[in-house]
Amino acid sequence: MAKKKFVVGCFDDEEVLFPAVGKVRTAGYKIHDVYTPFAVHGLDHALGLRETSLHTAGFIYGITGTTTALSCISWIFTKDWPLNIGGKPHFALPAWIPITFELTVLFAAVGMVLTFCYISQLAPFVKKHHFHARATDDLFVMVIECTDKTNAEDLKAFLAANGAVETDIQIAEEGWWLGRYDKDEMRFENKQIVAA
Amino acid sequence: MHLKYESQLREPLVYGDKNYHQVTEDIVRPIEAKPTKLWYVGFYIAVCLLMFGVYAIYRDVTYGIGQWNLNKTVGWGWDITNFVWWVGIGHAGTLISAILLLFRQGWRTGVNRAAEAMTIFAVMCAGQFPIWHMGRVWMAFFVLPYPNTRGPLWVNFNSPLLWDVFAISTYFTVSLLFWYSGLLPDFATVRDRAFTKLRKRLYGVAAFGWTGSTKHWQRHESLSLVLAGLSTPLVLSVHTIVSFDFATSVIPGWHTTIFPPYFVAGAIFSGFAMVQTLMLMIRKIFSMEDYITVGHIEAMNKVIVLTGSIVGVAYLTELFMGWYSQNKYEGYTFWYSRANLFSPYGWSYWGMMACNVLSPQIFWFRKMRRNLFVTFFMSIIVNIGMWFERFVIIVTSLYRDYLPSSWSVYYSPTIWEIGFYAGTFGLFFTCFFLFAKYFPVIAIAEIKYVLKTTGEGYKDKMGHLEHVPVEVFTHSGHGHTTVENDGATHG
């Protein structure tokens, strides 16, 4: 796995963090991520992240649930085993609404949570590099990826000048996720060794 | 400047001059400290009750449900009463976390975590009753539609009892997912300040490797908002479907169209009462007075008086319809079996009326809403009343059917029916005590999110803004000065 060098700047106030994010981006640095103890609204826009499509996935899972319920029940009650219930119609749509609704919700919720965990690489026993232990307590931790051209010391000073209370240089590697390594990296050499 | 301002007229949701770290300290402290004596006593009692329940169930399975006093007409007695009662209690958690989230009720942040936990445990308790009532419990999976070698013979999708299977299991699953996804960041907080290796390991596994990445938070927000949107109709559907178990039958006293809204209001009513009971306990045992404030208690008491009155209107409507329909069976059920104090079960009807309709009216007075003793006492009264309601609905409609020859037997439970019920209390409180000890009982990240808006210290500092004209705020220079409410899921 590729180890990368990161410059870490910790802020103790989101009101200092926002202008700092702007300045760091204008200066042309690549912000790897900002780790925050709670959802700071607007930070995703400040970082230039695109909107999440998770809700669209949720909608698709939901209609999958609707279709599953309706198609299964109607097949069972009209084709597979038509049951005469007091002479009432076999295709009894109104009576199927409750189950259809429940399955819509169930599919949407379960699908969304699993998708959320998968794309965010969250699962039990997953090891990740934590840049600062207080990122889940009271610090807003900005992590900047260094390139060949980056002067880490300069960057540290730049962050401190913009209000970082703590700065640091860390070498970290990307975690694995279901056999898929960080997308930036091509691991062809290793593969050949294994094949030979 | 970063404008997060809330009117001084609103009470702070977090008392004391706190910063983010202090919030973490306050909420994580009970997890890191040794449990108090009070906790051990409570846990011990809960486990004893649970053991008794396990024994009662062991007897149910061994000797069959003949050991209950169900008879020819009262085929549903205590256990379905208890089922509906627990499911009803299980409604408050999702109501608080989902509906109040969509309505942007800030006070939900203090109580949602514990209320959601309560929901999950209450639904677990509720599920026991239909499962063990089956008698041959090893065939419980027959309620699920699966391709089988008996035809395949499918379940009846037109039956409300099957709708219930789907409703309750969906509700349990979705509540669990909602609760757990909210817990991830807080488990990470506990993990990152753990002082033993084992603790770090366990909470690390529970936190799923949460880092607090901005992208993850963005998705987390989207997830909680959509889950809230899904749970809102879900929570209403569940008790609606439970009420269909009764309303789609042709038993006088059950066959009414008022049942769905009446059951949902009753569920919210009893659920909030149970939340009050638990919150007052948590607040006391773990000294969370700064986070579960008197304002929170008052807000919940308002919901109690509202839903209690809705339920009261429903009772009166039923009585009116019992007379207005001029159906003699309806009239007999409502005016003799129920409303007549001197009929065999008249005591349960008037017990219900006293507990559910009359006594909550005390909460029209602000002083009473903010009185913790009154609130605790009333929360118990309401739960007793709501139990009576289900008992009234089930037993008084059944004990005298169309054949006077079956009327003679007076249904009262055996010790094993009572033991089963006591056992679910044991299950509920065992789970709840474990939750209170090992889980963050208040949503840490959500409290931090509202801290700078509604924390007492911050509110005091911003008091002077009350007199600044609006124009000052509408023309400020920065890009992020707008009032924070886009996609606000924590508001």
| Selected residue of B113, B202, B218 to mutate for chain A interface (largest A Cβ count, 10 A) | B218
Radius of gyration of chain A (CA): 25
CA nearest to B397, candidates B186, B185, B251, B197: B251
Per-residue pLDDT, A88: 86
Residue with tokens 């931090």: B448
Per-residue pLDDT, B125: 95
Residue B96 carries which side chain, given as an amino acid letter? I
Q: Model ipTM?
A: 0.89
What is the Cα–Cα distance from B417 to B52, expressed in whole angstroms?
11
CB contact under 8 A, B237 and A108: no
Distances (CA, A) of B96 to A99, B113, B304, B333: 24, 9, 13, 35
Q: How confident is the model at residue B311 (pLDDT cuts 50, 70, 90)?
A: very high
Whether the predicted pLDDT of A195 surpasses 50: no
Q: Which tens digits make up the pLDDT trace of B226-246? A: 999 999 999 999 999 999 999
- Residue A75 contacts residue A82 (beta carbons within 8 Å): no
Partner residue opposite B211 with nearest CB, options A83, A109, A130: A130
Whether the predicted pLDDT of A181 surpasses 50: no
Q: Which tens digits make up the pLDDT trace of B8-19? A: 778 888 888 888
Measure the CA angle with vertex B302, ends B298 and B308; round to 5°: 135
Domains and CATH numbers, chain B: 20-145+153-459 (1.20.1630.10)
Chain centroid offset of residue B38 CA: 24
Is the N-terminal amide bond of B152 cis, ω within 30° of 0? yes
Domains and CATH numbers, chain A: 3-51+138-195 (3.30.70.120), 54-119 (no CATH)
Rounded mean pLDDT, B77-100:
89
Q: Which tens digits make up the pLDDT trace of B339-355? A: 999 988 999 999 999 99
Per-residue pLDDT, A180: 47
Q: How confident is the model at residue B394 (pLDDT cuts 50, 70, 90)?
A: very high
Lowest mean pLDDT: which of A32-36, B292-296, B460-464? Answer: B460-464
Residue B353 carries which side chain, given as an amino acid letter? M
Distances (CA, A) of B171 to B144, B175, B234, B257, B288: 16, 6, 7, 23, 29
B contacts of A78 (beta carbons < 8 Å): none
Per-residue pLDDT, A130: 85
What is the Cα–Cα distance from B375 to B134, expressed in whole angstroms?
38
Partner residue opposite A38 with nearest CB, options B158, B222, B449: B449
Closest CA–CA distance from residue A67 to any residue of chain B (Å): 15
What is the Cα–Cα distance from A16 to A20, expressed in whole angstroms?
6
CB contact under 8 A, B233 and A105: yes
Does any CB of chain A come closer than 8 Å to the CB of residue B148?
Answer: no
CB contact under 8 A, B445 and A37: yes
CB contact under 8 A, B223 and A130: no
B contacts of A126 (beta carbons < 8 Å): 208-209
Rounded mean pLDDT, B266-285:
91
Q: How many CB atoms lie within 10 A of CB B121?
A: 24
Per-residue pLDDT, B7: 75
A contacts of B478 (beta carbons < 8 Å): 18-19
CB contact under 8 A, B152 and A81: yes
Interaxial angle between packed helices B444-454 and B108-133, expressed in degrees from 0 to 180 and rounded to the nearest 10 = 150
For the record, the structure tokens of A182 come out as 């960080």
Which residues are registered as beta bridge partners of A171? A5
Closest CA–CA distance from residue B483 to any residue of chain A (Å): 10
pTM: 0.90
Whether the predicted pLDDT of A73 surpasses 90: yes
CA nearest to B383, candidates B340, B413, B411, B351: B351
B contact residues 159-198, partner A, Cβ 8 Å cutoff? 160, 162-163, 166-167, 170, 173-174, 177-178, 181, 184-185, 188-189, 191-193
Q: Which residues contact B214 (CB under 8 A, 6 or more apart)?
A: A33, A34, A35, A36, A40, A43, A44, A47, A49
- Residue B122 contacts residue B113 (beta carbons within 8 Å): no
B contacts of A112 (beta carbons < 8 Å): 223, 226-227
Residue with tokens 């973490």: B24
3-state SS of chain A? CCEEEEEEEEECCHHHHHHHHHHHHHCCCEEEEEECCCCCCCHHHHCCCCCCCHHHHHHHHHHHHHHHHHHHHHHHHHHHCCCCCCCCCCCCHHHHHHHHHHHHHHHHHHHHHHHHHHHCCCCCCCCCCCCCHHHHCCCEEEEEECCCCCCHHHHHHHHHHCCCCEEEEEEEECCCECCECCCCCCCHHHHHHHHC
